[in-house]
Amino acid sequence: MIKSLPYKRFLWPILIFALELAAYAQNKGDDKNYVSGKLQSNLNEETSGIAASANHSDIFYIHNDSGDISRFFAITPDGKLKAVVNFKTTRVGIYGVNDCEDIAVGPGPEARKSYVYVGDIGDNGSTNPYAAIYRIAEPEIPADVNKVQNLTSETLFVKYPDQPKDAETLMIDPIEKLIYIVTKRSKSVAVYTTPLNYKSGDTVTLTKRCDLHFRGLQPFKWIVSGDISKDGSQVILKSYSRVYYWKRQGKEPVWQTLQRKPIQPAYEQERLGEAVGFAANGKSYYTVSEGANQPIYHYTIPK
């Protein structure tokens, strides 16, 4: 039992080491049938989320987790860097963000306009009273990748109804217009929602919808990423060792969809895979791991 935060900090590097060791033991080489490319920029060293653009064909947005500034990147499926997007936040400090762990694309306040949502929801010690979600209108893709864009963001501060949580999964439901957060740790993970419609600077209390239990040992079964397809018909979650897939039935709430038994589609064990996202057309999904020059995996949706 982990009794105190200092002990957690001591144990965490050991757990990470064990996780990486187990991953490499199971996967001694990349499966070329699934690899679409590799991250080609040294800026992409700690990728923690991936989401398909709704405006630009064959463009995906990725970001680094804790330790990076408030920014995200546009890449192609083969890993080529196409854009660097900085965004201004209302948080203080040299980074402008705390621990961004997932990214999503979906609708927002303006009709027929697409937005990028960055989830500053990581909290290893479960001590932060508020997490944050940043909404940025989808950027243009410049001809020159060295032309950094500087955009504004609309910040939503969120708090849990009971106590702070560590989370790495942010999803946008385009049907019910809800933001979804799925927590990461413990024997069961929890699903929370809040309305997609908010004004910058708002603070809201999340609504708990359900608990989900996945078989396996910790930390391998911790939920580290997820996505809802652009049409809202499919849901995917990822742990360190598996991918879980659901087909939504009509317009039922996603949290109800998640309570059914999932399909476990193809997944090649990654070094420290913390990112999963659907392709824009919903016919496939991508995963990518933390680390420099990591492979980008591409899988077809199971029938």
Most confident of 159-163, 183-187, 217-221: 159-163
* Strand residues in 188-252 grouped as ranges (E): 188-195, 203-205, 207-213, 223-228, 234-239, 243-247
The mean pLDDT value of the chain amounts to 91
What pLDDT score does 27 carry?
46
pLDDT tens string 191-235? 999 999 999 999 999 999 999 999 999 999 999 999 999 999 999
Domain range enclosing 27: 5-300
Instruction: Taking residues 168-190, report their average pLDDT.
Output: 96
Q: State the pLDDT confidence band at 2, using cuts at 50, 70 and 90.
A: very low
Stated pTM of the model: 0.91
CATH code of the domain in which 183 resides:
2.120.10
Positive or negative, the Cα torsion across 301, 102, 232, 281? negative
Q: Structure tokens of 230?
A: 């652009």
Which range of 19-33, 49-63, 79-93 scores highest in mean pLDDT? It is: 49-63
Beta-strand relationship, 81-88 and 149-152: parallel
Q: 90: pLDDT confidence band, cut at 50, 70 and 90? A: confident
Number of domains the chain contains:
1
